[in-house]
Amino acid sequence: MIGNALTRQTPIKSPLEISDLFRAKEIDTDWSFIQAKPSDTGKWTHDYHRYPAKFIPQLVERLFDEYLPTRDAHVNDPFMGCGTTIVSAISRGVIASGTDVNRIAFLITKVKATPIDPDHLGKKINGLLAALKDGHIEPAIPPKHIHRIKYWFSDESTDELGKILRAIQQERDPAIRDFFLVAFSHILKTCSIWLQGSTKPTRDLSKPPVKPIDALRRHLRKMQRGNAEFYAVVPARTREHLKAYLQIKIGDARHQSARNATVDLIVSSSPYVTSYEYADLHQLSTIWLDFADDLTAYRKEFIGTSYKSSDNTKPRSQIARDIVEKMSQVSAKMAREVEAYFVDMQQVFDESYRILKPGGRCCYVIGNTQLKGVDILNAEAFADSLQHAGFALDRIIKREIPSKILPQKRDKKTGRFASNKDADAEAYPIEYIVIGRK
């Protein structure tokens, strides 16, 4: 059934028309932001924490410029990740709401979107570093994860990280404590034996050790500079009433807290099917910060995970169903994962439709890929699914992804991202912004 189909002004595009539309689409070089330097993409708080498949603020800002009506607006992102959309919305003094099931993503987003008085922050950072220099701190090492911690960290690093964590826990101001926790979370990979360039959990036993205190000091100073820049751009009213503006929660993309027809614009990039296992790749932070009691259950909360497969519900989109059908000829298991993914995403689009104001737009950034030789035409399936949620297909932007932003390669057999030297297929040399209008 197609929601609101009878009342819409724009005719529904058939699967064939959607395919033709995508085939004819030219790359819009204006949207590649080739000229953006790392200092632009990492400005303000955007470089607080690494995050796989984050998009660049320039893309979000351009969508805001084109579609955000007034200052009294409400922006939503159901898949916040490390909060690029949310930070950009707060910088413009508009309401920012959203979700992520990933506890680390929520923490990063909250801290990145919270400007702190620079003088206050400076004193607190100096205080923490001084306390750590004094030394006499009993390490706080989460006992139930000790085996995992020992797997990834030397005894010396474990001890030093435990001391840092204890000192952070003693901080009374919650905004400062969270700020420190993000710095702590960010340095974990560098201080572990996790293969540095890899998103996959691979050990590198010959990795040169990095002293946690040194890494923390460097990163805190960098974050301090980012906070000062951000503080200067966020309107004073937003800073003073941040709770009213920043309405984010840990939660599922299919359940937004925004009321019906209250959101002006959604800018989001969804997970991909069986690409990143976010629960696994943030495991260093998850274990140190003790964010998941049951990793098996936690993994299943993620859309696109290979730990979950379809309960036999069929996607509403014919394009999605055709992809599942093709996949079922190659791998029944993967077909069920792809099916579950498209069914879940349809529910996300239904939720986007519910919360948007009439005339409001949702912009989903997504790329196509291949799994086991089958073309996974996510963008076409999203365009079709948006219509099934009640949206008119408003615009499709085809853009190149400069290589410094996303990994370019996938392993052909598994479909997972791989480091460039191991992989044999292009992953997302281009991606789409699929825009629906309510």
Ligand X SMILES: C[S@@+](CC[C@H](N)C(=O)[O-])C[C@H]1O[C@@H](n2cnc3c(N)ncnc32)[C@H](O)[C@@H]1O
Pick the closer one to ligand X by CB: 170 or 257: 257
DSSP H helical ranges for 234-308: 236-240, 242-245, 278-281, 283-288, 295-300
178 binds ligand X (CB under 6 A): no
113 binds ligand X (CB under 6 A): no
Burial zone of 372 (CB within 10 Å; 0-12 exposed, 13-18 middle, 19+ buried): middle
User: Of residues 84, 114, 256, 385, which one binds ligand X by CB under 6 A?
Assistant: 84
Q: For 272, phi and psi rounded to 5 degrees?
A: -100, 160
The stretch among 98-106, 163-171, 368-376, 389-397 that binds ligand X (CB under 6 A) is 98-106
153 binds ligand X (CB under 6 A): no
Say which residue the tokens 């990933």 belong to: 102
435 binds ligand X (CB under 6 A): no
> Comparing C-alpha atoms, which of 392, 351, 359, 326 is closest to residue 18?
392
- Site residues for ligand X, window 241-270 (CB under 6 A)? 252-253, 269
- DSSP per-residue codes, 154-198: -HHHHHHHHHHHHHHHT---HHHHHHHHHHHHHHHHHHSSB-TT-
Q: In whole angstroms, what is the distance from residue 207 CA to residue 190 CA?
A: 9
Q: In whole angstroms, what is the distance from residue 89 CA to residue 408 CA?
A: 29
102 binds ligand X (CB under 6 A): yes
SS3 assignment, position 438: coil
Pick the closer one to ligand X by CB: 331 or 347: 347
33 binds ligand X (CB under 6 A): no
61 binds ligand X (CB under 6 A): no
| Shortest reach from residue 82's CB to ligand X, in Å | 4
> Comparing C-alpha atoms, which of 209, 136, 163, 184 is closest to residue 287?
184
209 near 187, Cβ under 8 Å?
A: no
DSSP H helical ranges for 25-117: 38-41, 57-67, 84-91, 103-112
101 binds ligand X (CB under 6 A): yes
| Shortest reach from residue 3's CB to ligand X, in Å | 21
54 binds ligand X (CB under 6 A): yes
342 near 315, Cβ under 8 Å?
A: yes
306 binds ligand X (CB under 6 A): no
User: Of residues 61, 100, 351, 380, which one binds ligand X by CB under 6 A?
Assistant: 100
79 binds ligand X (CB under 6 A): yes
| Shortest reach from residue 162's CB to ligand X, in Å | 27
Pick the closer one to ligand X by CB: 41 or 227: 41
The stretch among 74-82, 126-134, 168-176, 375-383 that binds ligand X (CB under 6 A) is 74-82
Of all residues in the shown chain, the one whose CB is closest to ligand X is: 81
User: Of residues 36, 89, 105, 193, which one binds ligand X by CB under 6 A?
Assistant: 105
Helix axes 155-169, 118-134, angle to 10 degrees: 130
Binding site for ligand X (CB under 6 A): 51, 53-55, 78-79, 81-82, 84, 99-102, 105, 252-253, 269, 271, 278, 301-303
